[in-house]
Chains A and B, each alone.
Chain A
Amino acid sequence: MRYVGKSYPIHDAEQKASGRAVYAGDMEQKEMLYGAVLFSEIPHGIVKALDCRRALDYPGVVDIAHCFNTTKKEYNRYQSQFGQKLVKTERVFNEHVRFVGDRIACVIAETEEAAREALRLIDVEYERLPYSLNVWESLKGTIDGIHPEGAVFEAGEILYGEKREEPGLLKLKTVTELSRINHVCMETHACIADYDIYKKELTIYSPNQTVYGIRTLIGDLFELDYSRVRVIKTTMGGSFGAKQEWVLEPVAAAAAIRVGRPVKLVYNRAETMISSYGRSPMHFETECLFAADGALKGVDCELILDAGAYLGNSINYARTVGYKLSRGYRYPYYHFHARAVLSNTIVGGAFRGWTSPEAAIMLEHSFNMAARKLRMDPIDIRLKNVMHPGDSDFLTEVPIGNFRAAEALMQGREHFRWEERKEEIRLFNRKNKRFRRGLGVSLGAHVNGFYPSKTDYARVDMRLTETGSVEMNLTIHDHGCGTVTALQMIAAEALGIAMEKVSLGEGDTRYTPLDVGCFSSRTTYVQGKAAVLCAEAFREKLKEHVALLTGWPEEELLVEGERVFPRSAPEQGYSWSRVAEESQQILKKELFVSKEYIPDTNPGVAGAHFAMVEVDRYTGMTKLLHYLAVHDIGQAINREICIAQTQGAVLMGAGAALLEEVKTRPDGSPMGSLKDYHLINSFEAPDVRVEFIEDGGTEGPYGAKSIGEVAHTPVTAAVVAAVNDALGSEMNRIPLTPDVICAYLSEREKGKKGE
């Protein structure tokens, strides 16, 4: 292939390298104003009164939108499609404040400095209410009045097969605790909204994962006709799930509508970490049944998810954990039950992998503990249970297609030198009292699009320009990981022209087609496929036009080398440029095709990850020594970017395993600073090896499958496994910080002394 599988810089790499790329926070508009948001300083209460007089008098302040003068309509930040049935609990500004960081007001001023300074002059009178900072407190009923619907929500129950408690089965109980983590996109949240008072038209610029989702939510919230809400996706400085629920857009829209001028709102790091959303803390209690040969006979899993102050996606998120457990292994019995419980903490929301990493952290740990008890190798126990090509997702009954989990595990075992390292580590640990090494493996599986659970479709249009290039139109949202370039490569490959002859933009509800958003690892698989189909139709259209123009029979024509010519007389053909020109002049039309694609497949995609760590038992510090990620990607489109994305996912998941946690103080105030929230930096980053199994065999473009989310799925579980292997421990709470590890070792030592 000419392009697919090779490596190209992301489409705007040069603008980014030169500093010329424009992110939402960099945009400037005529007459633009700046917003700054006043957040609740208490975890739970009622705003009895707001005194804005001093703030309004502050030089440069234009207006203040707040909980008493802005629409009280309720919405759900998770809404991304029309008519979604969701519990709506949140307002643009909340009089009933439910966490430290809840929005109360937005000062609109001529400068950001004035807006922020004026915030400090608003006097808020609160009536305090009892608060809860975790699910256990909420389950006691402490905050039942938080919403009319209460604080505890059933998220769903899944039952598959029948439980058989045969004699000789290993019954394994595990508890899994996940802390709250944050996406930490380098670009903090930003949005500009502009309102034309004469056209009654609202325009929103924001880095987001679905322009149509925002249009729908904003249209409903402010009762605007959808054709009067235009949403434009801006250059995005990373998302990882952080920019698919609507936090700033409603505020900026309310402000712009109020003043009839563009309003820019940029959250700083603390505001982004506290007042947007993070990945929810979760508590799993699991019981697995294993046969003596390692066969998994059943899973009973109870999940309590801490949704934070607003429901957002939490019911769906908690339920989806259950559905992600049916894509990697086969087992005859499965029972899953989840609840989403509100608390007066940071709102929970989407995170890269959309519950598949969380599901993996729980289930993979059970496999490791079972392997230990059954004296099996952790890879062997997985191979015993893993799904194979041709199997189906046992809940949705959708075939998982060419799912190469077993091959990934076996390839990794060899390339990671698993057996040799096991022996090396045994010797190292025998000699060393202070440092202990360990190996971990885990398997993560994920999806390729929404099918069959939600509506999924894609439309791609292509038109030919007079210079022989192709303008492609579709609705994508590049998170910064190169979907524009990937689509350009796919289109150029399918069209048979040079990459630079294909151009495309990103989501803009005014011009680009209706779309369900860049979620669920669907962009390459679904939109890429639509691009291929459109390119094929485009080539047919070229023949059709040339046949009309020349009288050559269509079936005689070939499209090759940016020319269209008859098989019998290759020297005679038309360049694409001439086709465009004569179509316009003679046929009186533009060469244009539009193609729709509705996916009816959703193959499984797997990653087998292998980690080797060294734990300092005296300081609790864990060093990641070696890491290998093997993925059945089907076909890498932009190879080096796929590798880089996988390596980034490894650091993110390893960070979650070892360091990352948004802590909340006892008074309910969260710690929203990178001084407290550490990420793995270049100094600590291990060399991450990435291997792809590329044997295509899917409906996706050139056999491609997803990578961005599945790459994150197995990581945390693999690192946790390696730490437990090193210490002989059974911890499954993240993060395994030095404090947690030392506390564990200290307890263990006390236990030994006590014996």
Chain B
Amino acid sequence: MELSFILNGKPKRLDTEPERRLIDLLRKDLHLSGTKEGCGEGECGACTVIIDGKAVHSCLVLACQLEGREVLTIEGLEEAGELSRIQRIFVEETAIQCGYCTPGMIMSAKALLMQNPHPTEEEIRNALAGNICRCSGYTQIIRAVSRTAAEGGQ
């Protein structure tokens, strides 16, 4: 099928199969490997991207659901060749260890801040509950999200 959608701010047209998963489209067809696959069943959150302002699992979205939608991946966050604020704060707060959960975690956090610029800790914990980090106890991640909010958003 012919598919047109917006990817990281730019219109994208491609020929694909309706049942192609978004994560395969990104990683295999468009060589955007920042989005990670951790379980393929919506349990770990590593593949989280933002579609029309909302965090979703790219392993649970098919090409046929994407027409005209706006997809934002981790690769779309850098601004003028530099890390965006939320990314930089994740780095500074040592909220990154093995890093495999990081792109999905940042996308979930960003989606939260887009809708709720001043979340409470409880709201942050809730918004990130679907993103598993096996290295940390989430402390530094939650701190990074709070600080991003305090410093003016994602």
A687 beta carbon closer than 8 Å to chain B? yes
Task: Show 21 residue pairs from A and B whose CB-CB distance is below 8 angstroms, ordered by the A residue.
Answer: A10-B97, A12-B99, A18-B83, A19-B35, A184-B132, A186-B132, A235-B99, A237-B36, A238-B98, A269-B40, A480-B97, A644-B139, A648-B133, A650-B137, A651-B137, A651-B138, A674-B41, A674-B43, A681-B130, A682-B129, A685-B138
By size class, the interface of chain B is: 35 or more
Q: Which residues of B contact A18 (CB under 8 A)?
A: 34, 74-75, 77-78, 83, 87
> Chain A contacts of B41 at CB under 8 A?
269, 673-675
A186 is contacted by which of B32, B33, B101, B106 (Cβ under 8 Å)?
B101
Considering the complex, which residues of chain A in the window 357-379 have a beta carbon less than 8 Å from any beta carbon of chain B? none
- Which of B50-58, B60-68, B88-96, B146-154 interfaces with chain A? B88-96
Instruction: Encode B118-140 as 1/0 by CB contact (under 8 A) with A.
Output: 00000011101111111111111
Chain A residues within an 8 Å CB radius of B131: 681-682
User: Complex formed: what's the CA distance from A683 to B120 in Å?
Assistant: 13
List chain B residues, Cβ under 8 A from A236: 98
Question: A187 at the A/B interface (Cβ < 8 Å)?
Answer: yes
Smallest Cβ-Cβ distance to B121: which chain A residue: A687
Q: Please, how many angstroms separate the alpha-carbon atoms of A394 and B130 in the complex?
A: 46
Residues of A contacting B138 with CB < 8 Å?
647, 651, 682, 685
Min C-beta distance of B70 to chain A, whole Å: 18
A681 touches B96 (CB 8 A): no
A631-653 vs B, Cβ < 8 Å mask (1 yes, 0 no):
00000000011011111101110
A residues within 8 A CB of B103?
16, 19
Residues of B within 8 A of A652 (CB): 134
Given A18-B34, A652-B134, A482 and B97 contact (CB-CB distance below 8 Å): yes
Output the least CB separation between A621 and chain B (Å): 16
Q: Which residue of B lies closest to A26 (CB)?
A: B33
Shortest CB distance B94–A (Å): 4
Report the 5 A-B pairs with minimum CB-CB distance, sorted nearest first. Answer: A19-B34, A480-B98, A647-B137, A16-B99, A237-B100
**What chain B residues lie within 8 Å of A114 (beta carbons)?**
none
Closest chain-A Cβ to B81's Cβ sits at a distance in Å of 10
B24: which A residues are within 8 A, CB to CB?
113
CA distance A651 to B97 in the complex (A): 15
User: Is B111 in the interface zone, CB < 8 Å from A?
Assistant: no
Complex-state Cα separation, A236 to B128, whole angstroms: 22
The residues of B that contact A645 with a CB separation of less than 8 Å are 97, 135-136
Kindly report which residue of chain A lies nearest to residue B35, judged by CB atoms.
A19
A503 contacts partner chain B, Cβ-Cβ < 8 Å: no
Residues of A within 8 Å of B126, CB to CB, are 683
CA distance A102 to B36 in the complex (A): 26
Q: Is the CB of A640 within 8 A of B140?
A: yes
B133 surroundings in chain A (CB, below 8 A):
186, 648, 682
Whole-angstrom CA separation of A650 from B137 in the bound complex: 7
Contact size range, A: 35 or more
What CA separation (Å) do A14 and B128 show in the bound complex?
A: 21
**Does B142 lie at the interface of the complex (its beta carbon under 8 Å from any beta carbon of A)?**
yes
* Contact present for A13 and B44 (CB under 8 Å): no
Instruction: Assess the A186–B141 pair: CB atoms within 8 A.
Output: no
- Check if A644 sits within 8 Å of B98, measured CB to CB: no
- Interface pair A17/B132, CB less than 8 Å apart: no
Interchain CB contact under 8 A, A641 and B99: no
Contact of A13 among B28, B96, B100, B130 (CB under 8 A): B96
Tell me how far the C-beta of B88 lies from the nearest C-beta in chain A, rounded to whole angstroms.
Answer: 8
B46 touches A186 (CB 8 A): yes
- Residues of A with C-beta under 8 A to B36: 23, 25, 186-187, 237
**CA of A240 to CA of B103 in the docked complex: distance in angstroms?**
21
* Cα-based distance from A13 to B100 in the complex (angstroms): 11
Q: Is the CB of A185 within 8 A of B134?
A: yes
Q: Does A549 sit at the interface, judged by CB under 8 A?
A: no
Q: Is A188 an interface residue (CB 8 A)?
A: yes
A9 touches B91 (CB 8 A): yes
Bits for A100-118, please: 1 = Cβ < 8 Å to B, else 0: 0000000000011100000
Bound CA span A28–B139, Å:
34
Chain A residues whose CB sits within 8 angstroms of the CB of B124 once the complex forms:
682
| Residue A572 interfacial (CB < 8 Å) | no
Interface residue A158 (Cβ < 8 Å from any Cβ of B): no
Chain A CB within 10 A, most for which of B27, B36, B73, B75:
B36
Q: Are B43 and A673 in contact (CB under 8 A)?
A: yes
Report the separation of the CA atoms of residues A25 and B35 in the bound assembly, to the nearest whole angstrom: 11
Q: Is the CB of A185 within 8 A of B94?
A: no
Which residue of B is nearest A478, CB measured? B98
The minimal Cβ–Cβ distance linking B124 to chain A, given in whole angstroms, is 8
Q: Bits for A160-202, please: 1 = Cβ < 8 Å to B, else 0.
A: 0000000000000000000000011111100000000000000
Q: Hey, which chain B residues are within 8 Å of A269, CB to CB?
A: 38-41, 44
Is B35 a contact of A185 with CB atoms below 8 Å?
Answer: no
* A28-B31, A647-B137, A681-B130 known; A187-B98 Cβ under 8 A: yes
Nearest B residue to A652 via CB reads B134
Determine the residue in chain A with the shortest Cβ distance to B88: A17
B97 touches A19 (CB 8 A): no
Partner of A648, one of B90, B91, B137, B142: B137
> Which of B27, B39, B73, B135 is A238 in contact with, Cβ under 8 Å?
B135
Of A16, A26, A674, A685, the contact of B102 (CB 8 Å cutoff): A16
Other-chain residue from B46, B74, B137 in contact with A685 (beta carbon distance below 8 A): B137
Which residues A443-473 have CB closer than 8 A to chain B?
A: none
Q: Nearest chain-B residue to A16 (Cβ)?
A: B99
Contact A17 B125 (CB under 8 A): no
State A26–B135 Cα separation when bound (angstroms): 20
**A681 contacts which chain B residues (CB < 8 A)?**
128-132
Residues of B within 8 A of A743 (CB): none
Measured in the bound complex, the distance between the Cα atoms of B91 and A238 in whole Å is 17
Complex: A480 Cα to B97 Cα, angstroms? 5
With A240-B134, A481-B135, A648-B135: A186-B94 Cβ-Cβ less than 8 Å: no
Residue of B28, B34, B39, B43 near A20 (CB, 8 A) is B34
- Chain A residue with the shortest CB-CB distance to B129: A683
Name which residue of chain A comes closest to B124, CB basis: A682
Contact with B along A680-721 (1 / 0, CB 8 A): 011101011000000000000000000000000000000000
Tell me whether A19 and B75 are in contact in the complex, defined as CB-CB below 8 angstroms, given that A237-B99, A679-B132, A681-B130 are known contacts: yes
A21 interface residue, CB < 8 Å from B? yes
Whole-angstrom distance between the Cβ of A116 and the nearest chain B Cβ: 12
Q: CA separation between A240 and B100, bound complex, in Å?
A: 14
Kindly list chain A residues whose C-beta atoms are within 8 Å of the C-beta of B46: 186
